[in-house]
Amino acid sequence: MDRRTTPLGIISATPGVVWPALPDAPGAALLAILFQLEQSQWWPAERLELAQRRQLSALLAHARDRVPFYRDRLPRGWPDSADAKAWEAAWRSLPVLRREEIQAADDSEAMLADALPPGHGEYREVFTSGSTGRPIRGVRSQLWELVWSAFTIRDHLWHRRDLTGTLAVIRESGAGKAAYPQGDMQRGWGFSSAGVFETGRLASLNVATPVEQQLEWLVRQDPDYVLSHPSILARLATASRDAGLRLPRLRQAMTIAETLRPDARQAIEAAWNVTVADVYSTREAGYLALQCPDHPHYHVQSEGLRVEVVGEDGQACVPGETGRVLVTPLHNLAMPLIRYDIGDAAEVGPPCPCGRGLPVLTRILGRRQNMLRLPGGERRWPLLSSGDLAGLMEAVPPMRQYRIAQKALDHLHVALAVARPPTAEEEAAVIAWARRKFGAGFRVTIEAMAELPRSAAGKFEDFVCEVPEGG
């Protein structure tokens, strides 16, 4: 395997020293983490797991002693990290942390540590996007943000990106921010590299910008890399292909925030003739998994957090099985999240041929709340293949985008973004398509509009289950 990367230019903060560069203290700490990550990614799984248990033991001791929420939740005695069998059994006995527990503890700040160890810096507040309809407040430390930066750089290194190029980003969701036609321009690719690495220009645009204006702006920026939500990039790629517009310098598309569907990946790669690199992350837990640079699946970032994929019985899933995702960030001592159920599901994969010992996730399936619910209580993933989508496009040729919402156990609502209102025959074809795909017993309603709305964070979900539990 070719492990060569584009050389990184490091900024020296020491007067009179240009090369070899000597960065400031935070920069030196970031480089120290990156040096260790370069080694640990090649460790065998057993060595990674031992190192993780050592860090988790330190996290558990801090949470029990300094965080009110955990004082009665965590046991006093804990097995030695070298005793894998006893340690893992004790770990599996810990209760799963639910989103509603975090919300209930927020008023009293019971989830926050009353003090941080030296070197962890200040508390930093962040809010989740609330894609489940239940946003939460998260608090993290400056040290955690340093670790976050290291995984950002790792992603760049894995995919051999040239940091001196131009990065175009369409993810700003604040009203009036990064507005068309200029968007926002700055030197440097963001705080993860600021003051440490020499980087090129970053251009930013608001996600609420209409696709035609997004495309005009993107062509004008002529970037080396573009980063946005998969649904945005898929529409942009299709629009640029239809308009015959090229991005001659583009080297790679980077996707975040939403589940990357196979059809979106195919549309982007086919239209722009570049690879797509996906990132699986959450605001409250950071980077969960990065796409392998040599394969389309994902590597769990075990040096930064423990990711468990468990079945309905609570047992760990084996390769080929799908389960719910539990995460435990290793270094956020400001607000420890221990065995936190983030509401997602993922499929476990076998060890990767690339040689990295980091665990593999074959697929990220997104929110479990968005599984199709059947009258008998069964749930299943509403996976839409390329053939399924081709059938929907054939039913409604003017369709640009779709969203399917399950309103009741027997009711599916199909919202379509279309260039013109669909005909009665096209609506009948959509109803027939939906019943073939999801089941003949569903009542199907259709709504046509010019654009489909996004969440407050600019995200888009193609299937949403709105049926309440028990309903």
- Please give the share of the chain, as a percent, with pLDDT higher than 90: 63
Closest CA to 328 of 317, 339, 315, 342: 339
Mean pLDDT of 128-138: 57
Q: Any idea where the domains of the chain sit in the sequence?
A: 1-161+251-368, 372-465
The C-alpha atoms of residue 321 and residue 232 are separated, in whole angstroms, by: 30
Long-range contacts of 72-80 (CB under 8 A, 24+ apart): 74/338
Candidate CATH numbers 1.10.357.10, 3.40.50.12780, 1.10.10.10, 3.30.930.10; the one for domain 1-161+251-368: 3.40.50.12780
| Sheet with 252-255, edge to edge strand ranges | 184-187, 201-206, 167-172, 225-228, 252-255, 275-282, 286-291, 298-300, 360-367, 340-349, 322-329, 305-310
Q: Is it the case that residue 369 has pLDDT exceeding 50?
A: yes
Q: What is the dihedral of CA 419, 420, 424, 427, to 10 degrees?
A: 20
* CA neighbours closer than 13 Å in the CB half-sphere of residue 38: 12
More confident residue, 449 or 96: 96
Orientation angle between helical segments 424-438 and 386-395, nearest 10 degrees: 160
Q: Is it the case that residue 94 has pLDDT exceeding 70?
A: yes
Looking at residue 106, its pLDDT comes to 83
The per-residue pLDDT for range 175-197, each reduced to its tens digit, is: 788 999 999 999 889 888 877 89
Contact 9, 23 (CB under 8 A): no
Looking at residue 2, its pLDDT comes to 41
Looking at residue 99, its pLDDT comes to 86
Query: Any bridge partners for residue 287, and if so which?
Result: 281
Contact 131, 455 (CB under 8 A): yes
3-state helix, strand, coil in the chain (%, to 5): 30, 25, 45
Which residue type does 351 have? P
| Sheet with 411-418, edge to edge strand ranges | 443-449, 411-418, 399-408, 463-465
75-104 residues labelled b (16+ CB within 10 A) or e (exposed)? eeebbebeeeeebeeebeebeebebebbee
Mean pLDDT of 93-98: 96
The C-alpha atoms of residue 213 and residue 204 are separated, in whole angstroms, by: 13
The band of 7, judged by pLDDT with boundaries at 50, 70 and 90, is: low
Mean pLDDT of 415-427: 90
From the centroid of its chain, how far is CA 195? 26
The DSSP letter of residue 186 is E
Per-position DSSP letters for 338-372, written without gaps between them: -SEEEEEEEEEEPPPTT---S-EEEEEEEEGGGSE
Mean pLDDT of 71-95: 95
Contact 165, 200 (CB under 8 A): yes
Q: Is it the case that residue 129 has pLDDT exceeding 60?
A: no
Looking at residue 279, its pLDDT comes to 96
Looking at residue 204, its pLDDT comes to 96
Mean pLDDT of 314-342: 96
Q: Write the CB contacts of 113 (distance below 8 Å, at least 6 apart in sequence).
A: 62, 63, 66, 67, 333, 334, 335, 336
The C-alpha atoms of residue 139 and residue 60 are separated, in whole angstroms, by: 17
The band of 131, judged by pLDDT with boundaries at 50, 70 and 90, is: very low
Burial of 125 (0-12, 13-18, 19+ CB in 10 A): exposed
Q: What's the topology of domain 372-465?
A: GMP Synthetase; Chain A, domain 3 (3.30.300)
Q: Is it the case that residue 454 has pLDDT exceeding 80?
A: no
Per-position DSSP letters for 137-158, written without gaps between them: EEEEEHHHHHHHHHHHHHHHHH
Give the containing element (helix H, strand E) for 231.
Answer: helix 230-243
